Structure 1
Amino acid sequence: MTAEHVLVHVTTDSEESAHGLADSAVRARLAACAQIEGPITSVYWWEGEVQQGQEWRVSCKTTAARYPALESHLLDRHPYDTPEIIATPITGGSAAYLAWVTEEVSSS
C-alpha cells in the first residue's frame, strides 16, 4: 500500500526559525498544518565530534504528492547546511482529517 499522506519532521535552532518554517509552509499550501515542539535536546555527530544543543521540531502534515515541493521549500528557508527533514508515511488515520489535509494542500 502506498501512503497518500506524510508527516514531515524538521528541526531548527530557534523558536523563531521554527515559526517561520511552519508559517511559510502552511501559507504556501505545502502543509495543511504544522505543529511546533520545543525546546528539545538533540545529541548528534557533526564535523567529527559529538554535539549537543537545543532545537525546535516542526511537524507538517501534507500529501505524498506535495512532499517534494515542501522539502524544497524547507531547504530554501532553513538556516542549517544539512537540515533534518524526514518524511514518514501516514498509513492510517481519521478519514475526515486526511481528506482535510488533501483539500488544504490542493487549494490555491
Structure 2
Amino acid sequence: MANEIVIAQTTIDNEDQAKELARGAVESKLAAGVHIDAPITAVYWWKSEVETTLEWRISYMTTTERLPQLETWLSERHPYDVPQWITLPVTGGSDAYLAWVVEETTRD
C-alpha cells in the first residue's frame, strides 16, 4: 500500500477535551477514526515529583503521509506542556480497513 498506516497516541486528563481532539482530527481528515480508551491511571515524573492522575488515551488511525499534519494540529490544541506523542506502525490488517484509512485521510 502506497500510504503506510500508523496509530498515533496521546493522552489527556479530561474526557470532554479527548472527545474534542478526536472529533476535530476526524473532521479535518487528519485521522480516519479515533478510539478513546476509558480512563487509565498514569504514574509519571513531572517537575521532580511522582504524579498520579487519570487520563484518557486517544488513538488516531492515520497514514504516514498525514502524520506530520496531525502532530502539528494536535500540538497546537493540546493543553499539556509535554503531551505524550507516540506512533505505532500497523504491520497488518484487512485490506478493506487499511484502504478505508487511506481514503478517509485523503483530502478532496
Structure-2 residue corresponding to 1:22? 22
CA shift, 1:107, in A, is 3.3
Cα distance in 2 for partners of 1:94, 1:8 equals 19
Q: CA-atom RMSD, angstroms? A: 1.4
Between the aligned residues of both structures, percent identity stands at 51
Superposed CA deviations along residues 40-87 of structure 1, whole A, max 9, x for unmatched, are: 100001101111000001111000110000011111110101000111
Structure-1 residue corresponding to 2:65? 65
Q: Secondary structure at the match of 2:101?
A: helix
CA shift, 1:36, in A, is 0.7
Structure 1 stretches of 4+ moved >4 Å: none
Structure-1 residue corresponding to 2:93? 93
Q: Secondary structure at the match of 2:82?
A: coil
Q: Secondary structure at the match of 1:84?
A: coil
CA shift, 1:26, in A, is 0.3
* Structure 2: gaps of 5 or more residues: none
Structure-1 residue corresponding to 2:77? 77
Decide which structure has greater strand share: 1
